[in-house]
Amino acid sequence: MRSEKRPAAGDGGSARDGIGRYLDSIRDFPILDSDRVADLAETLAREEQAFRDALRAVPGAALRIVERWRERQAEGRVTGTLCQRYRENPSHDWSTPLDACLGELEGLVQRWSRAVERRGAAARGQRRGIETRMARVLDEAEIHLDVLCDVHEELSRVAAASRSRAATASRRRLGIDRAAQSRLAAAAGFATPRALHRPAGRVQGGGHPAPGARAGARRSSGAGRAEPLSG
């Protein structure tokens, strides 16, 4: 009577054992039906929108995104990779409409930075008006979610920094007041788990509309190397 032949080392036996262990580990997890999958997708979409809304309301987010955009231009890299839909169709020109939005946003950030140095009710009203426009343009830009998570992490560190004069000056320059600190804290529930489960320094694919071009806004060619985003 012949004995059963065991898989020799390197012939796939270890791989099959690994698959078996994996299947055993998920055996007790229920399979979601289509309605439950749809419900979860809707919940995730609402949470993402709430995160985007909270971050757009912090002026420093616009400043940091403009800085990333200018860095990519200076390095000769494709600015369109900052767009949510770039990975879906890399051959499409995402750079031109994105550059238009962020060119307008840069002008608004500069105006806001000047207004924040002024005092009085009129200056506060001007800042609020500019902040509203900044949020609208940032919404149109449809920045990739991974970029927003990176920006959220950076702003949260500034918000949690010491009360030294330098830290206070940084918060003021980024518009991180108490209301902004509350928004960043509320958004952490969405941003932190995502940051822990994605590869560092690389934009993943997304599924959102392309950024809308703004008439009269500054454009750049967007030519350069299409590389993974590194912040």
The pLDDT tens digits for 13-53 are 566 677 888 878 878 888 888 888 899 899 999 999 999 99
What average pLDDT does the chain have?
A: 81
Q: Give the pLDDT confidence score for residue 214 in this predicted structure.
A: 37
The pTM of this model reads 0.70
Q: Give the pLDDT confidence score for residue 218 in this predicted structure.
A: 37
* C-alpha closest to that of 89 among 210, 199, 200: 210
Q: Give the pLDDT confidence score for residue 163 in this predicted structure.
A: 87
CA separation, residue 115 to residues 17, 106, 109, 156, 157 (Å): 65, 14, 10, 23, 24
Domain residue limits, the chain: 45-196
* C-alpha closest to that of 152 among 190, 121, 122: 190
Is the pLDDT reported for residue 231 higher than 50?
A: no
Q: Give the pLDDT confidence score for residue 129 in this predicted structure.
A: 96
Percent residues over pLDDT 70 in the chain? 76
Is the pLDDT reported for residue 125 higher than 50?
A: yes
The pLDDT tens digits for 78-98 are 999 999 999 889 999 999 999
The pLDDT tens digits for 29-40 are 888 888 888 998
pLDDT band at 195 (very low <50, low <70, confident <90, very high): low
Gap between the Cα atoms of 3 and 24, Å rounded? 27
User: Hey, is 175 helix, strand or coil?
Assistant: coil
CA separation, residue 153 to residues 19, 146, 175, 187, 230 (Å): 36, 11, 15, 10, 14
The pLDDT tens digits for 136-179 are 999 999 999 999 999 999 999 999 998 899 999 999 999 999 99
Is the pLDDT reported for residue 194 higher than 70?
A: no
Is the pLDDT reported for residue 210 higher than 50?
A: no
pLDDT band at 226 (very low <50, low <70, confident <90, very high): very low
Residues in CB range of 143: below 8 A, 6 or more apart = 65, 82, 83, 84
